Chain A
Amino acid sequence: MTEAKPKPKIKKEEVKMPKQDPKVRVKNFNEVALGYTEEQAFEEATRCLQCVKPQCVDGCPVEVPIPEFIKYIKEKKYAEGIVTIKSKNALPAVCGRVCPQEEQCQVKCVLGKIGDPVSIGRLERYLADWELDHGFQLPEKPQSTGKKVAVVGAGPAGLTAAADLIKLGHEVTMYEALHLPGGVLIYGIPEFRLPKAIVRNEVAYIQKLGVNLRVGNLVGRIHTIPELMKTGADAIFIGSGAGLPRFMGVKGENLGGIYSANEFLIRNNLMKSYVFPEYDTPVRIGKHVVVIGGGNVAMDCARSSMRLGADVCLLYRRSRDELPARQEEIENAEEEGLVCKFLAAPLKFNGDEKGWVKSMECIAMELGPPDESGRRRPIPIEGSEFTMETDTVIIAIGQTPNPIIQRTTDGLEVNPRRGTILVNETGKTSIDGVYAGGDVVTGAATVISAMGAGKTAAKAMHKYLMNKK
């Protein structure tokens, strides 16, 4: 054990993440955070106290063995380190980048009491990237159980469930509606935060494990859940996400230049419109973009728009303190020149003679008492209407689950108001053998919570499958 060495003085400050200069990066789509060097990773790893009862692990929804993998970095045993992570987390290169670590593993780290917590996510990323450069090791092939499983949706929830189930010896077929796998990781989160090569690599790993992936396959239109059951699936996992965009229902919303966040992000990420016309799908972005919303999705739209050359204003109906986006992303965006307008909401969009948006009428808000979400409710201030000039608007006010599966599966219990699938604590739905997890159950949440749900369900499904005659 490393504890045997003489105890060095604990460094209170984390090793900072090297990043692209804001002035440079706002002109390209390359990754903003460059990743630790070997020396930096070593230095940060040595800060970890190797706690016997590590609090950090409790904060991780998939229980990555954090002190163990950090120890391997200190010992420069990178291959062992990555295998340790992958025993719990099939997508470390993704999680190391986009997990809200500051609210999960890192918030629990004991070092946080005296200084900066250990940068667990960055270290996880370091090992995952090391593996990317060195090729991955496949675990030994398990003995086949002869059971068949269908997984619907190749987002983080589905990918995790698929990886866990195949490692347990089940035959897994994954159905993905889009032409590329990855879910939000491929169509939503921009290249500069999560390079698509990384997502492809993580998916390739899961395919190498033997998962049979079928893209362009919208369950509900081709096969329904009951049909999948009838044609041989012994159990099904639904991880279809929350991909339906919300609109505001205000006048003029169908004018040209008004995108849903999903449309804008799908164009840019899935279809790569930022390199149009090399790729065929166009995106049109004006000079003055207004992004409506305040979450991670809104930040991603704003930062993408800046990279496409626009001035961007974020319009949020509450105040800065309530911004739901990750702190790190807000800071990154502000460094890049994002302007925010707080406490205001749109009332109406006005168009030009060609049907393109040219301005929006807004109203100012003040904060009242907290609502059911626990945040203070915004209340319009009478007589405070004002007009903003704009030529592009991106609406990023949230998504709900796509109802195709819910509508085509008799007996599947759904929350009537939110459209989410109802499950018990193991992820089981109202139908025997059918499980669900991720955004389709919780509504828009996080990558790692979706993965956690995929894991939980995989465990329960394994038990169910092994008990089934």
Chain B
Amino acid sequence: MYKILSIQELAPKTKMFEVSAPDIVAKAEPGQFVIVIISEKGERIPLTISDYNREKGTLSFAFHEVGKTTKELGLLQVGDDLENVTGPLGNPSEIKKFGKVLCIGGSVMIAPLLLQVKAMKEAGNHVTTIIGARIKDGLLMKEKAEALSDKTYIATDDGSIGHKGLDFLKEILKKEKFDRCVVMGPVAMMYEVSEITKPYGIPTIVTTTPIMMDGMGMCGVCRVTVGGKMLFGCFDGPEFDGHQVDFDQLVQRQRLFLPEERVKSLLWEKNIGGCKCDRSKA
């Protein structure tokens, strides 16, 4: 059993759970993810590791409530148990001294990005961090980002806080040289950043989030085309060279089950007012 030890609300509909998972924590590294199952009838959802404490044996992940499973997760309380947490899955990020590193995170993925920022700093890099969200309220962990990074920029789609959009990044790149760029966030954002860094030849690593099921190479639903080759997001990734990823296909494949997911979410929302029966504890 994987007990929830603490819950932090990072932004509206965005929470961070700290769970007890000593086995996983002993091996977890930045860039890896876990697969969470809430209850016996639940689905397996991948969430990136946002923090871990090897002494305490605890692991944190942040999630945004988008569909049935993440909404259901959002209802859980401290002390509740998760049916299963499997991990660490995927390959760890490459952490070493690159020189000047640009770390860019969007919405909920800011949380796991900061784990990388920390590791990159510890490896002796100069780290510039950009965190962004759609609107001001969606921005999370601003203070932490500022504390960990040498320089921090803020951006929102509507400009309600910080820069409006990512155009300012082009200006930065005209003036400053970076040896590596790491991006974690919505696909559209990772695509945009990859396009911006390409002309400057900055190696740009994106964290792909295709639909996954087993997360260990068994099903192939997570296939991503990288440099014309079919790779498995869970097994070969989830990080890939952003200049090589077929983002159009990634978006298309993320939407494969959208109609079903919507129906499920609606049905569930209709029911939660009344009976939660076997769902909360199985």
| Beta-carbon contact of A218 and B216 below 8 Å | yes
The verdict on A282 contacting chain B, using a C-beta distance below 8 Å, is yes
- Of B85-93, B109-117, B185-193, B198-206, the one contacting chain A is B85-93
Interface of A is mostly: loop
In the bound complex, residues from chain A placing their C-beta under 8 Å from that of B252 are: 256, 354-355
| Beta-carbon contact of A179 and B44 below 8 Å | yes
In the bound complex, residues from chain A placing their C-beta under 8 Å from that of B263 are: 277
In the bound complex, residues from chain B placing their C-beta under 8 Å from that of A223 are: 27
- Of A70-78, A265-273, A336-344, the one contacting chain B is A265-273
Task: Out of A256, A262, A278, A354, name the residue touching B218 (CB < 8 Å).
Answer: A262
In the bound complex, residues from chain B placing their C-beta under 8 Å from that of A281 are: 43-44, 213
B31-47 with Cβ < 8 A to chain A: 35, 37, 41-44
| Beta-carbon contact of B217 and A244 below 8 Å | yes
| B196 CB to nearest A CB, Å | 26
Given known pairs A254-B253, A280-B68, the reply for A271 and B213 (CB within 8 Å) is: yes
- Nearest CB in chain A to that of B279: its residue: A280
The verdict on B123 contacting chain A, using a C-beta distance below 8 Å, is no
What mask results when residues 206 to 223 of chain A are scored 1 for a CB within 8 Å of chain B, else 0? Answer: 000000000111100111
| Beta-carbon contact of B41 and A272 below 8 Å | yes
Q: Interface centre among A272, A281, A404, by most B CB within 10 Å?
A: A281
| Beta-carbon contact of B213 and A282 below 8 Å | no
| Beta-carbon contact of B216 and A404 below 8 Å | yes
A276-300 with Cβ < 8 A to chain B: 276-282, 284
| B251 CB to nearest A CB, Å | 9
The verdict on A260 contacting chain B, using a C-beta distance below 8 Å, is yes
The verdict on B107 contacting chain A, using a C-beta distance below 8 Å, is no
What mask results when residues 153 to 167 of chain A are scored 1 for a CB within 8 Å of chain B, else 0? Answer: 000000000000000
The verdict on A439 contacting chain B, using a C-beta distance below 8 Å, is no
| Beta-carbon contact of A402 and B230 below 8 Å | no
Interface size, B (range): 35 or more
The verdict on A192 contacting chain B, using a C-beta distance below 8 Å, is no
In the bound complex, residues from chain B placing their C-beta under 8 Å from that of A249 are: 230
The verdict on A465 contacting chain B, using a C-beta distance below 8 Å, is no
Cα distance A171–B47 when bound, in Å?
Answer: 34
| A138 CB to nearest B CB, Å | 26
The verdict on A178 contacting chain B, using a C-beta distance below 8 Å, is yes
- Nearest CB in chain B to that of A243: its residue: B218
A171-213 with Cβ < 8 A to chain B: 177-179, 187
| Beta-carbon contact of B217 and A404 below 8 Å | yes
The verdict on A124 contacting chain B, using a C-beta distance below 8 Å, is no
The verdict on B147 contacting chain A, using a C-beta distance below 8 Å, is no
What mask results when residues 243 to 271 of chain B are scored 1 for a CB within 8 Å of chain A, else 0? Answer: 00000010011001101110110011000
Given known pairs A222-B23, A253-B230, the reply for A279 and B218 (CB within 8 Å) is: no
In the bound complex, residues from chain A placing their C-beta under 8 Å from that of B218 are: 187, 243-245, 262, 266, 402
What mask results when residues 393 to 413 of chain A are scored 1 for a CB within 8 Å of chain B, else 0? Answer: 000000000101000000000
| Beta-carbon contact of B220 and A282 below 8 Å | no
| Beta-carbon contact of A263 and B249 below 8 Å | no
| B263 CB to nearest A CB, Å | 7
- Nearest CB in chain B to that of A245: its residue: B220
In the bound complex, residues from chain B placing their C-beta under 8 Å from that of A355 are: 249, 252-253
Interface size, A (range): 35 or more
In the bound complex, residues from chain B placing their C-beta under 8 Å from that of A263 are: 213, 219-221
The verdict on B64 contacting chain A, using a C-beta distance below 8 Å, is no
B215-238 with Cβ < 8 A to chain A: 216-221, 223, 225, 230, 235
The verdict on A247 contacting chain B, using a C-beta distance below 8 Å, is yes
Given known pairs A266-B213, A284-B260, the reply for A216 and B69 (CB within 8 Å) is: no
In the bound complex, residues from chain A placing their C-beta under 8 Å from that of B44 are: 179, 271, 281
Cα distance A311–B27 when bound, in Å?
Answer: 47
B72-100 with Cβ < 8 A to chain A: 83-89
Cα distance A443–B213 when bound, in Å?
Answer: 23
Cα distance A254–B43 when bound, in Å?
Answer: 22
| Beta-carbon contact of B217 and A256 below 8 Å | no
- Nearest CB in chain B to that of A262: its residue: B219
Task: Out of B23, B83, B219, B264, name the residue touching A282 (CB < 8 Å).
Answer: B264
| B77 CB to nearest A CB, Å | 20
| Beta-carbon contact of A282 and B260 below 8 Å | yes
| Beta-carbon contact of B230 and A247 below 8 Å | yes
| Beta-carbon contact of B257 and A284 below 8 Å | yes
In the bound complex, residues from chain B placing their C-beta under 8 Å from that of A260 are: 219-221
- Nearest CB in chain B to that of A265: its residue: B219
Cα distance A221–B214 when bound, in Å?
Answer: 14
| A25 CB to nearest B CB, Å | 25
| A16 CB to nearest B CB, Å | 37
Cα distance A254–B267 when bound, in Å?
Answer: 30
| Beta-carbon contact of A254 and B213 below 8 Å | no
| Beta-carbon contact of A179 and B220 below 8 Å | no
The verdict on B154 contacting chain A, using a C-beta distance below 8 Å, is no
Jot down 9 A-B pairs with beta carbons below 8 A, ordered by A: A178-B214, A217-B23, A222-B26, A243-B217, A244-B217, A245-B219, A247-B220, A279-B43, A355-B249
- Chain B interface residues toward A at CB < 8 A: 23-24, 26-27, 35, 37, 41-44, 68-69, 83-89, 213-214, 216-221, 223, 225, 230, 235, 249, 252-253, 256-257, 259-261, 263-264, 267-268
4 further A-B pairs in the complex, CB-CB below 8 A; given A216-B86, A221-B87, A404-B217: A221-B216, A245-B220, A254-B223, A279-B41
